[in-house]
Amino acid sequence: MTKKKKVVVAMSGGVDSSVAAGILKEKGYDVIGITLQLYTVKQEIKTKTCCSGIDIYDAKEVARKLDIPHYVLNYQENFKKTVIDNFINSYRNGETPIPCVQCNQHIKFDDLLITAKGLGAEFLATGHYIRKKKVNNIDGLFKAKDESKDQSYFLFQILEKDLDYLYFPLGDLSKEETRLLAKKYEIPVANKPESQDICFIPYGNYRKFLSKYKGFKKPGNILDTKNNIIGKHEGIENYTVGQRKHINVSINEPLYVVKINKENNSIVVGKKDSLKSKQIKIHQINWLGKKSFLKNKVYKNLYIKVRARQKPIKGTLELLENKEGKVLLDDYTYAVSKGQGCVFYDNQDQLLGGGWIK
């Protein structure tokens, strides 16, 4: 009797990861479901519940339906350290963070990966929409077939050494196909709405969330691009580069946030034109493409995204010391924000890596 291959699936209790588990089960794997408890939702009633979250319950119900073992791992401490604290600090520094990338980087594809290996699994699978394919016999990551669902941007920090161990069963599916499979597997969450917000922020209200921490709500000046004070703001955390709302300064033309200065607690606003840029400095570059790249200094004809929902723009990456780099876009882009990812693809939609915008 050949032993079935073991695979660990990260199950969030949502449709996608539930279907991922279902697909693997159908393919004949020995599937183990794991749900990560990342934070505690404060309930309306005052008691701090032992295990919060309807999502954990949902994941358990899906696992029961699929007849696979399911476990909950408590990663709250690590999530706080690597994701939430980083999110808060990022806003303190006038940046616009993307916590999902850090969660993928430090939680799912680090701690959970170690556990999956320890449990004897041959793969760690997730419900991300991204494809893994071999190119010249080397594993590579590619945009999802359904580009509207593509999550490759959020996965640019996956390490090349881990690729061999990862499995993304949804990369070739559209959301519609996923939902159909959910119905086919009789997954109880088939009609659950998609989560849009940052998971640990209740009701998507990040300002209210931040207000519980020190160092926010510091009033400061709103400057124009010539450094004239033209108004007051209630804290730099309320602004993101490119934002139009909440500026409260009226001139004839619409104004946008063009810069956030942590040093003097000011924001700079200007016309749309002053938002555009071609040069971007990045750090902590992670490379997933051909290894030989790292010997080169310059990489041309990359397709580059500076935010999740954006059409890639062609450009060049120049590699500097200490995993830092300079990106020069062929065309102007608008509202490049510190703290977001700058992610590279080739002309075949292969995810080549990325870095954090400085």
Interface residues toward another protein, by CB under 8 A: 32, 34, 37, 50-51, 56-57, 60, 69, 71-74, 114-115, 117-120
What is the rounded distance in angstroms from the CA atom of residue 33 to the CA atom of residue 71? 6
Tokens standing for 1? 């009797």
What is the rounded distance in angstroms from the CA atom of residue 155 to the CA atom of residue 130? 9
**Nearest-approach distance from CB 126 to another protein, in angstroms:** 18
**Nearest-approach distance from CB 72 to another protein, in angstroms:** 4
User: Would you call 323 exposed, middle or buried from its count of C-beta atoms within 10 A (0-12, 13-18, 19+)?
Assistant: middle
CA atoms within a 13 Å half-sphere pointing along the CA-CB vector of 153: 19
**Nearest-approach distance from CB 78 to another protein, in angstroms:** 11
Q: Which is nearer to another protein, 37 or 265 (CB)?
A: 37
Q: Which is nearer to another protein, 114 or 249 (CB)?
A: 114
Q: Which is nearer to another protein, 45 or 50 (CB)?
A: 50
Q: Which is nearer to another protein, 34 or 181 (CB)?
A: 34
Contact indicator for 156, 341 with CB cutoff of 8 Å: yes
Q: Which residues of 57-71 are buried (b: 16+ CB within 10 A; e: fewer)?
A: ebbbbbbebbebebb
Annotated catalytic sites, by residue?
Answer: 103, 199
Main-chain dihedrals φ then ψ at residue 288, nearest 5 degrees: -120, -5
Nearest to 313 by CA among 345, 351, 352: 345
